[in-house]
Amino acid sequence: MFTGIVTDIGAVRALEQRGDTRFEIETSYATDGIDIGASIACSGVCLTVVEKGADWFAVDVSAETLDRSSLASWSVGTRINLERSLAMGDELGGHLVSGHVDAVGSVEVLEREGDSVRFVFQAPAEVAPFVAEKGSIAINGVSLTVNSVEDDDAGCRFGINIIPHTQEVTTFGDLKSGDAVNLEIDMLARYMQRMLSSRHGVKN
Q: Is residue 96 included in any domain, yes or no? A: no
Q: Is residue 2 included in any domain, yes or no? A: no
Q: Is residue 174 included in any domain, yes or no? A: yes
Whole-prediction pTM value? 0.91
Question: Each residue of 74-99: pLDDT tens digit?
Answer: 999 999 999 999 876 677 777 889 99
Q: Is residue 98 included in any domain, yes or no? A: no
The three-state DSSP-derived secondary structure of the chain is CECCCCCEEEEEEEEEECCCEEEEEECCCCHHHCCCCCEEEECCEEEEEEEECCCEEEEEECHHHHHCCHHHHCCCCCEEEEEECCCCCCCCCCCCECCCCCEEEEEEEEEEECCEEEEEEEEECCCHHHCCCCCEEEECCEEEECCEEEEECCEEEEEEEECHHHHHHCHHHHCCCCCEEEEEECHHHHHHHHHHHHHHHCCC
Domain range holding 75? 8-84
Which pLDDT band, with edges at 50, 70 and 90, does 73 fall under?
very high
What is the pLDDT averaged over residues 176-180?
97
Percent of the chain whose pLDDT exceeds 70: 91
User: What CATH number corresponds to the domain at position 175?
Assistant: 2.40.30.20
Q: Is residue 90 included in any domain, yes or no? A: no
Q: Is residue 78 included in any domain, yes or no? A: yes
Task: From 129, 123, 133, select the one nearest 183 (Cα to Cα).
Answer: 123
Residues 107 and 190 in one domain: yes
Question: Each residue of 6-57: pLDDT tens digit?
Answer: 999 999 999 999 889 999 999 999 999 999 999 999 999 999 999 999 999 9
pLDDT of 193 above 80:
no
Residues 187 and 118 in one domain: yes
Into how many domains does the chain fold? Answer: 2
Residues 76 and 133 in one domain: no
